[in-house]
Amino acid sequence: MTEVALSARRVLSLMDLTSLNDSDTDADITALCRRAVTAAGTPAAVCVYPQFVSLAKTALAALGVAEQVRVATVTNFPDGSADIAGAVQQTQAAIAAGADEVDLVFPWRALQSGDEQTGLALVSACKAACGEQLLKVIIESGALSEPALIRRASELAIEGGADFIKTSTGKVTVNATPEAAGIMLEVIRAAGGTTGFKAAGGVRTLAQAAEYLVLADRLMGPEWVTPAHFRFGASGLLTDLLRILQEPANSSESQDGY
């Protein structure tokens, strides 16, 4: 197998195959789950809106990949409200529906205004609501824009108990960038390296994904970059990976949700 094909397989194993479109239907989510089953392997998870969690669990079980592919969903999404009680309620409902992972939007506007405590409290409360399930905190790095704010949001999310910190919702003008990823990975390393990282928003090709892998391999080490610590949030990326691996996509492609 060529080096490029090996890289494509590696990226596939790190993907959260995502559909977060307002127009999503049961049929769209069922098709998304079918796309998760390829001859080259499966992604780490599928990520869908909360109302589709149960459907995704059922579809993956029917496909025989429920053990390999986790189901992620989103809360406090996409606005990043400062309403702690509302975020906790959404997170509790997502866990009750069967979500294996919750991608929570950090109240980044509050941080911009100088309020650090709301973000810390919100993450802490939602981590408690998740119990043993993974909490991935979206800091919306593109909207924060300033390196100091990206760094501080990452620190607060980790202090609050985040299992992963994630770049973006995919719903703002600027999403994942290697520059923001570098800052976030540096914070993770300084905190001991146990927190994971997720690049989401605008990663659509193997070449783009490779930039993040090179960065993570350099800062954290290749052995760190596994689904337990590193993810890509994407949908269109799968099409490029399967093109490289010479396998047709299983169904019509949904738009990038992140």
Helix 236-244 vs helix 3-13: crossing angle, to nearest 10: 150
Domain-embedded: residue 160: yes
Tokens 């205004």 belong to 113
Distance CA 62, CA 110 (A): 43
The answer to whether residue 198 is catalytic is yes
The domain spanning residue 231 has which CATH number? Answer: 3.20.20.70
| Domain that residue 80 falls in | 3-245
8 A C-beta contact, residue 223 and residue 133:
no
- What domain count does the chain have? 1
Helix (H) or strand (E) holding 241: helix 236-244
In-domain check, residue 220? yes
Three-state SS at 2 = coil
Task: Sort strands 101-105 and 15-19 into parallel, antiparallel or unpaired.
Answer: unpaired
Give me the catalytic one of 163, 198, 240, 256: 198
pLDDT of residue 64: 98
The answer to whether residue 202 sits within a structural domain is: yes
Q: Is residue 254 part of a domain?
A: no
Two structure tokens written together for 246: 């010479």
Q: Is 171 a catalytic residue?
A: no
Among this protein's residues, is 166 annotated catalytic? yes
Residue 246's pLDDT is what?
87
Q: How far, CA to CA in Å, does 165 sit from each of 25, 26, 66, 141, 249?
A: 28, 29, 24, 10, 29
Instruction: List the chain pLDDT tens, one digit each, 258 residues.
Output: 899 999 999 999 999 999 999 999 999 999 999 999 999 999 999 999 999 999 999 999 999 999 999 999 999 999 999 999 999 999 999 999 999 999 999 999 999 999 999 999 999 999 999 999 999 999 999 999 999 999 999 999 999 999 999 999 999 999 999 999 999 999 999 999 999 999 999 999 999 999 999 999 999 999 999 999 999 999 999 999 999 998 765 544 444 445
Give dist(CA 35, CA 157) in Å, integer: 32
Q: Quick one: which of 132, 75, 67, 68 has its CA closest to 102?
A: 75
Q: Which residue among the candidates 57, 127, 136, 166 is catalytic per the annotation?
A: 166
Residues whose CB falls within 8 Å of the CB of residue 127, separated by 6 or more in sequence, listed in order: 135, 160, 161, 162, 163
Distance (Å, whole) CA 74 – CA 198: 14
Which pLDDT score is estimated for 33?
98
Asked whether residue 37 is assigned to any structural domain, the reply reads: yes
CA–CA dist 195, 28 (Å, integer): 32
CA distance 9 to 38: 11
- The answer to whether residue 28 is domain-embedded is yes
Q: Is residue 235 part of a domain?
A: yes
**DSSP assignments along 162-216, one per residue:** -SEEE---S-SSS---HHHHHHHHHHHHHTTS-SEEEEESS--SHHHHHHHHHHH
Q: Please pick, among 103, 163, 240, 256, the residue that the annotation labels catalytic.
A: 103
Asked if residue 23 belongs to a domain, the reply is yes
The residue type found at 222 is P
